[in-house]
Homo-oligomer: A and B are copies of this chain.
Amino acid sequence: MSVAHLVESAGCPLVDAFERLGGLSSFRRNEALYRQDDPADRFYRILSGVVRTSRLTSDGRRQVGDFYYPGDIFGLETGPERRFGAEALTDCEVQVVRRAAVRTFAGQAAVDRAILEATQLEMERLQDHVMLLGRKGALERVAIFLMSLASREADLEIDLPMGRQDMADYLGLTIETVSRAITHLQGEAILNFPSTRRFEVRRWTALETLAARA
């Protein structure tokens, strides 16, 4: 299946750098792209598939950092070590560039700027995540999450590459609470789940209202 239409191949310097420097790698479902505490010396760009980043605390609790889709860039962390690991949620293809390679790339200034922009985008996502975790109720969190997935794709039916546990660990909830929220959203005829991994938005405005104030 071609995913070219999913990825805007504009003449962005960073994308150029990926195109010209980036090795192509494939990963299978559930395979780790890199692990927490690995050396952080590469950037990634997704061509197809979905990737999850996550961090395990010493006592076994897990926090999912984010979910990345085709066109997204991730792995931008600064430190010598990865603070979050990255795992393939589905089979996927990614472009990988070494940090050092980008550094010596002709037109470096423009590439640096582009990396900065990608990092700032990541920062915004993290800010949204903080707002979500800090000040939103359970139903609100689930509504926001599913809405953001729905608005990412133009399709009517949206499929969920992640399971309930992944959602829960992203939203700072338990699977049971996520499940109940989904049941509730179905009961209100706001969403429809033909299967556990697919859903459709029936009442957008109601969903938006919920997302704004639970």
User: CB within 8 Å of B: which residues of A?
Assistant: 55, 57-59, 61-63, 65, 76-79, 83-84, 108-109, 112-113, 115-117, 119-124, 126-127, 129-131, 133-135, 169, 171-172, 212-213
Q: What is the bound-complex CA distance between A57 and B140, given in angstroms? A: 13
Q: Chain B residues near A133 (CB, 8 Å)?
A: 130, 133-134, 172
Whether A78 contacts B126 in the complex (CB less than 8 A), given A55-B131, A109-B109, A131-B57, comes out as no
**A65 smallest CB distance to B (angstroms):** 7
Q: What is the bound-complex CA distance between A131 and B62, given in angstroms? A: 9
Whether A65 contacts B120 in the complex (CB less than 8 A), given A58-B212, A213-B59, comes out as no
Q: What is the bound-complex CA distance between A122 and B59, given in angstroms? A: 26
Question: Which of B76, B79, B116, B172 contacts A135, CB < 8 Å?
Answer: B172
User: Who on chain B is nearest to A135 by CB?
Assistant: B61
What is the oligomeric copy number? 2
B123 and A77 form a contact (CB under 8 A): yes
B123 and A84 form a contact (CB under 8 A): no
Q: What is the bound-complex CA distance between A14 and B164, given in angstroms? A: 44
Q: Chain B residues near A115 (CB, 8 Å)?
A: 116
B130 and A65 form a contact (CB under 8 A): yes
**A50 smallest CB distance to B (angstroms):** 19
B83 and A135 form a contact (CB under 8 A): no
